[in-house]
Amino acid sequence: MPVNRNALIRYRTIDQCLQNRFKRWTLDDLIDACSDAIYEYQGIDTGVSRRTVQADMEMMRSNKLGYEAPIVVVDKKYYTYSDKNYSITNSPLNQQDMQVLSYLFTSLCKSIF
């Protein structure tokens, strides 16, 4: 899970953009989309930096959050997913997630009964 709400907003925004195959997304387009989303949800109007969006995409590509997003660059300019059906919201739960959910479920059942 992302460390803060702004990161989560940016990840979801980037994900939604890259799922839209009808637009060719440049880095500047993604920066604008993330800045708009942060303003819409948080009221922060300072914008998002180029480096932040680049780091977000690297984090999404990695396994650190379990996304392993297949983000590719086309024509050295446009970002997209290599798998047209990919979304970070479709990521399966890993073993650690399952253990946490199992623990929470067990704790909840014990407190109810």
Q: How far apart are CA 90 and CA 70, in angstroms?
A: 13
CA angle at 108 for the pair 104 and 113, rounded to the nearest 5°: 150
The pTM assigned to this predicted structure is 0.79
pLDDT given for residue 105 in this prediction = 75
Q: How far apart are CA 75 and CA 60, in angstroms?
A: 21
pLDDT given for residue 92 in this prediction = 66
44 with 50: CB under 8 angstroms? no
Measured in residues, the chain has a length of 113
Please, what are the domains in the chain?
5-88 (1.10.10)
The two three-digit tokens of residue 110, written as one number: 């014990």
| C-alpha torsion 48→51→54→58, nearest 10 | -120
pLDDT given for residue 3 in this prediction = 45
pLDDT in tens, the chain (113 residues): 344 889 999 999 999 999 999 999 999 999 999 999 999 999 999 999 999 999 999 999 998 888 999 999 999 999 999 999 999 988 666 677 667 677 777 777 776 66
